[in-house]
Amino acid sequence: MPQRPIYLDCHATTPLDDRVLKAMLPYFTEHFGNPSSINHVYGWEAEAAVKQARQLLAAAIHATPEEIIFTSGATEANNLALKGVAEAYFQKGRHIITVETEHSAVLDPCQYLRSLGFEVTLLPVQSDGLIDLAQLEQAFRPETILVSVMAANNEIGVLQPLAEIGRLCRDRQVLFHTDAAQAIGKIPLDVEAMKFDLMSMTAHKVYGPKGIGALYVRRRNPRVRLSPQLHGGGHERGMRSGTLYPPQIVGFARAVELALAEQATETKRLNQLRQQLWQQLSQLDGIHLNGHPTQRLPGNLNISVEGVDGAALLLGLQPIMAVSSGSACSSATTAPSHVLTALGHSEQLAYASIRFGIGRFNTADEIDKVAQHAIATIQSLRKQATLV
């Protein structure tokens, strides 16, 4: 059996931590009850586990348990936030502000809302991937109801100035939503300090299971109204019907609990590994770092490589490392990444890009191996190019 490539695609998904799996297992088997069953112990056990998980997740972001609405992941949470606010507030206004570099799970619902008559302003980003706060200020209109800006970008890892954005929104009584799929557990998130009114989360980017996430929905100062997108049994305070999934919910909470407990040491370790990778790769000419050099997720390194074909580069790297080029989520298409083109890159440079997502289980030895192989691959492709 050939060895599998080193996994460095932690922005696409992360491996499930064994400690998370251990917490989940009893809720598949002996504690299989429906948390909505109020007449017997099976339901009570499941309900107790969900309650504890909800408390833990709420505490992790300085929210209250009632403000956590479980969903199938961040895609659903984003859809609920954007469409739910649009439907509940359209009489107040029909203007939404978001950013060019958002995930498609924000951009596509916004596009859909446009087709219903909403107006959407897409803010550009600066060459470092961060928005310009002055441009945001200018984009507000009397009819603006919502601003949606992601916490951490899934391609270039940049961290937007959330507290400043929150302040601008709160001053104007405009709701602020953030897609924190990449940020939860990795950077401190505080719904009070950052003035979030809605925040999307997911478990599978933080060593938890796939298929579970949540939307934080503020209940006080202001109380956010939301039009449900799934109607049915009235679960989750009527905002999201459907039987809760205790194993996933327990796993989600355990994953966030572990990430928070280890955040300080893990941030330091991942920063070192990223630095180690960048120091080796940047010895080559024509390697560009995409995104702000320090305002970014610790495990993210995104580079563009001059003088090589993007597809050939990825093919050459594949036997040794599992990485992504462009956007993982749109890798079925051959279009260059909308995030890299938003930075002002030429199409060719946006194509020849690699996203390294370093995570909890990567080691310094792996990073050395990856760096050496990437350097050899780039050198060999450049040599071939000059021979043609």
Q: Which residues bind ligand PLP (CB under 6 A)?
A: 73-75, 103, 105, 150, 154, 179, 181-182, 202, 205, 213
Q: How far is residue 141's CA from residue 119's CA, in Å, rounded to a whole number?
A: 11
Residues in contact with 302: Cβ distance below 8 Å, sequence separation at least 6, in sequence order: 155, 156, 157, 289, 290, 291, 353, 354, 355, 356
Residues in contact with 284: Cβ distance below 8 Å, sequence separation at least 6, in sequence order: 375, 378, 379
Shortest Å, Cβ 67 to ligand PLP:
19
Residue among 259 and 378 whose Cβ is closer to ligand PLP: 259
Residue of 90, 122, 92, 95 whose CA lies nearest to 106? 122
Shortest Å, Cβ 74 to ligand PLP:
3
Shortest Å, Cβ 181 to ligand PLP:
3
Q: How far is residue 200's CA from residue 82's CA, in Å, rounded to a whole number?
A: 11
Which residue of the chain is nearest ligand PLP when measured via CB?
A: 73
Residues in contact with 172: Cβ distance below 8 Å, sequence separation at least 6, in sequence order: 140, 144
Residue of 178, 110, 95, 164 whose CA lies nearest to 134? 164
Query: DSSP code of 179?
Result: E
For the chain, the residue count is 388
Per-residue tokens: 237: 């305070």
Q: Answer for the pair 159, 188: CB distance below 8 angstroms, yes or no.
A: no
Catalytic positions are 329
Shortest Å, Cβ 184 to ligand PLP:
10
Shortest Å, Cβ 37 to ligand PLP:
27
Shortest Å, Cβ 208 to ligand PLP:
10
Q: Answer for the pair 7, 356: CB distance below 8 angstroms, yes or no.
A: no
Cis bond leading into 65, ω under 30°?
A: no
Q: How far is residue 30's CA from residue 124's CA, in Å, rounded to a whole number?
A: 51
Angle, CA 319 vertex, CA 317 and CA 324 arms, to 5°: 45
Strand 321-322 relative to strand 6-7, pairing: parallel
Residue among 74 and 96 whose Cβ is closer to ligand PLP: 74
Q: CA 374: distance to chain centroid?
A: 26
